[in-house]
C-alpha cells in the first residue's frame, strides 16, 4: 500500500535512480497490458506506436472495433499518466528545476529526452557538493553521451519525417542536423565550456554517425546521404555553436528543460509542414545540341532509337537511373513511347506529334530514380514514392539549314525535397546529364546515317 501511495503522491522528491527504475518498470507493464488488450481486438501493438502512432489511430472514420480498442487503451493510460506526472514533478523538484517543465512530458520525443536527462542529472544538493569551479578542458563522458543521444534523436526524427509523415522538407534536412548538433554541444559543454574547435569537431561527427546508423539499419543509402551531407554538416555545427554560446552567456540561460524545449520545436515543425502539404513548382530543364544532319533524319532517330552503350559518366555508376533505349508503339497523338531506364520504364503517352518539328508527351508512370548503394536491398519512401516526379517532356527540332539541326530536349518535373534551392540544383544537374546522354546518342545515330548515304 505504501508503494502505491509513493507512486501516486505529488509530495516529496525522487532521486535519479528511483526515477529511472520506476520508469522502466512502468513502461514494461504498460506495454504488456497494451499488447494483451490489442490482441483481444485482433490487432498487434508495437513499442514504436508510443512515438509514431498508427496512421489509423484517429478516432474519426475508424471501424467500431478499432474505436473501442483505442478508447480502451486511453482509459488504461490514465493511471499511468498520473504516476508519470507524479514521478516527473518530484524528479524536477529534486534536480532543482521549475515544475512548469512538466509540459514536456506530453510532447512526443521531447518526453523521451526529458526522461533520459532526468535519469542522469544528479540532485541539486549533490551537484552543489561536487561543484568544481575549474573549467574542464578534456572531453568528458558528457561529450560521448551527447553524440549517442543526438544520434538516437536524429534517427527517431528521421523515422518520424521520412517513414511516418513521408516528407523530406525543412524539418528533416535543416532542423534535425541543427538540433542534433545543439544536443551534442549541450552535453559536451554543460559541465564546463570546451573550445569551439572541440565543439565543432564533435558536432561534425554527429551527422556522420547518424548516416552510418541509417546505412547499417538499411533505412537510407549512401548516395542520398552524401547528397544531404553538405546541408547536414554546417547546420549541425551551427546548432553546436548556438548551444556553446548560450551556455557561455549569462544573458541566455540554457537550463536542461529549456534545451529540451528547443528540441521539441523540430517535431512541431515537421507536423506543421505535413499539415500545410507543401507542393513544389513544376519547372523545366532544357538541354540542346546541334546535330550535323537534316531535320528529317534527326526526327527518325528521336521517335525511337536503338539501345545506348553502357554509360561512361561517373554519375551513372552511383546508382542514379540512366536511359538505355526507347521505342514508340503507334504514331501521332495517342501513341505510347516507352523510354527504358536502368531502373525500369517510363510510359509516355504522346500528346503532340508535329513531324520534323515537335514531339511532346506526358509521363503516365515512371521507375525509381535510383538504386541505392548499401547493405542489401534498400527501399525508402523517397525512392518508392516518386519524390522526383516527371510530368511532361518534349523534343523540339529546328532546321538551321539543310544539313544542320538544333535538337532540344526538355523535361518538366517536381522535386519534393526542401530547401528547393539546394535540391533543385542537384536534380537539374542530373536531369541535364540524362538529356545529354540521349541527345548525344541521337546525334551519333543521325550523323552515322548521313555518312552511310
pLDDT in tens, 396-417: 999 998 899 999 999 999 999 9
387 burial (CB, 10 Å; 0-12 / 13-18 / 19+) is buried
Q: What is the pLDDT of residue 427?
A: 92
Distance CA 119, CA 122 (A): 8
Q: What residues does each domain of the chain span?
A: 2-276, 283-452
- The set of long-range contacts for 211-216, using a CB threshold of 8 Å and a minimum separation of 24, is 213/151, 213/155, 214/155, 214/158, 215/374, 215/375, 216/375
The residue-averaged pLDDT of 292-307 equals: 90
CB within 8 A of 433, min separation 6: which ones? 313, 315, 316
Q: Which one of 6-20, 127-141, 357-371 scores highest in mean pLDDT?
A: 357-371
Q: Which one of 48-62, 293-307, 349-363 scores highest in mean pLDDT?
A: 349-363
Of 345, 361, 441, the residue nearest 396 (C-alpha): 361
Residue whose C-alpha cell is 530536349: 409
pLDDT in tens, 48-105: 666 655 544 444 344 455 677 778 888 888 888 888 899 999 998 888 888 877 877 8
Q: What is the pLDDT of residue 130?
A: 55
pLDDT at 129 > cutoff 80: no
In whole numbers, what is the pLDDT of the chain averaged over residues?
84
pLDDT in tens, 207-251: 998 988 888 777 788 888 889 999 999 999 999 999 998 888 766
CATH of 283-452, one of 3.40.470.10, 1.10.3720.10, 3.40.50.300, 3.30.530.20: 3.30.530.20
Amino acid at each position: 500500500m505504501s508503494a502505491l501511495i509513493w507512486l501516486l503522491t505529488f509530495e516529496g522528491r525522487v532521486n535519479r535512480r528511483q526515477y529511472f527504475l520506476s520508469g522502466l518498470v512502468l513502461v514494461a507493464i504498460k506495454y504488456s497490458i497494451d499488447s494483451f488488450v490489442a490482441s483481444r481486438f485482433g490487432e498487434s501493438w508495437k513499442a514504436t506506436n508510443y512515438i509514431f502512432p498508427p496512421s489509423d489511430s484517429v478516432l474519426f472514420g475508424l471501424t467500431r472495433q478499432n474505436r473501442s480498442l483505442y478508447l480502451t487503451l486511453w482509459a488504461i493510460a490514465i493511471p499511468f499518466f498520473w504516476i508519470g506526472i507524479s514521478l516527473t514533478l518530484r524528479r524536477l523538484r529534486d534536480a532543482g528545476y521549475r515544475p512548469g517543465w512538466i509540459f514536456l512530458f506530453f510532447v512526443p520525443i521531447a518526453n523521451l529526452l526529458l526522461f533520459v536527462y532526468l535519469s542522469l542529472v544528479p540532485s541539486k544538493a549533490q551537484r552543489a557538493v561536487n561543484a568544481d569551479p575549474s573549467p574542464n578542458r578534456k572531453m568528458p563522458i558528457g561529450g560521448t553521451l551527447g553524440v549517442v543521444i543526438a544520434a538516437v534523436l536524429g534517427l527517431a526524427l528521421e523515422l518520424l519525417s521520412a517513414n511516418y509523415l513521408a516528407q523530406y522538407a525543412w524539418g528533416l534536412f535543416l532542423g534535425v542536423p541543427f538540433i542534433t548538433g545543439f544536443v551534442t554541444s549541450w552535453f559536451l559543454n554543460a559541465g564546463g565550456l570546451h573550445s569551439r574547435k572541440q565543439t565543432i569537431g564533435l558536432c561534425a561527427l554527429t551527422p556522420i554517425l547518424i548516416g552510418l546508423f541509417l546505412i547499417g539499419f538499411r533505412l537510407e543509402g549512401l548516395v542520398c546521404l552524401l547528397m544531404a551531407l553538405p546541408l547536414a554538416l554546417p547546420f549541425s555545427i551551427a546548432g553546436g555553436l548556438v548551444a556553446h554560446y548560450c551556455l557561455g552567456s549569462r544573458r541566455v540561460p540554457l537550463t536542461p528543460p529549456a534545451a529540451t524545449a528547443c528540441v521539441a520545436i523540430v517535431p512541431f515543425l515537421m507536423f506543421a509542414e505535413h499539415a500545410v502539404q507543401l507542393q513544389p513548382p513544376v519547372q523545366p530543364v532544357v538541354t540542346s545540341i546541334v546535330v550535323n544532319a537534316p531535320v528529317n533524319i534527326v526526327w527518325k532517330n528521336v521517335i525511337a532509337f536503338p539501345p545506348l552503350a553502357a554509360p561512361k559518366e561517373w554519375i551513372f555508376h552511383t546508382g542514379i537511373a540512366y536511359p538505355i533505349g526507347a521505342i514508340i508503339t503507334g504514331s501521332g497523338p495517342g501513341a505510347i513511347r516507352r523510354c527504358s531506364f536502368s531502373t525500369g520504364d517510363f510510359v509516355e503517352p504522346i500528346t503532340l506529334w508535329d513531324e520534323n518539328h515537335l514531339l511532346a508527351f506526358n509521363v503516365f508512370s515512371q521507375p525509381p530514380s535510383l538504386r541505392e548503394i548499401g547493405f542489401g536491398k534498400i527501399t525508402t519512401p523517397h525512392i518508392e514514392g516518386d519524390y522526383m516526379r516527371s510530368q511532361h517532356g518534349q523534343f523540339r527540332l529546328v532546321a538551321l539549314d539543310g544539313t544542320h539541326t538544333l535538337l532540344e530536349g526538355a523535361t518538366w518535373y517536381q522535386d519534393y525535397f526542401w530547401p528547393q534551392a539546394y535540391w533543385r540544383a542537384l536534380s537539374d544537374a542530373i536531369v541535364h546529364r540524362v538529356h545529354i546522354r540521349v541527345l548525344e546518342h541521337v546525334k551519333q545515330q543521325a550523323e552515322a546515317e548521313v555518312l552511310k548515304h
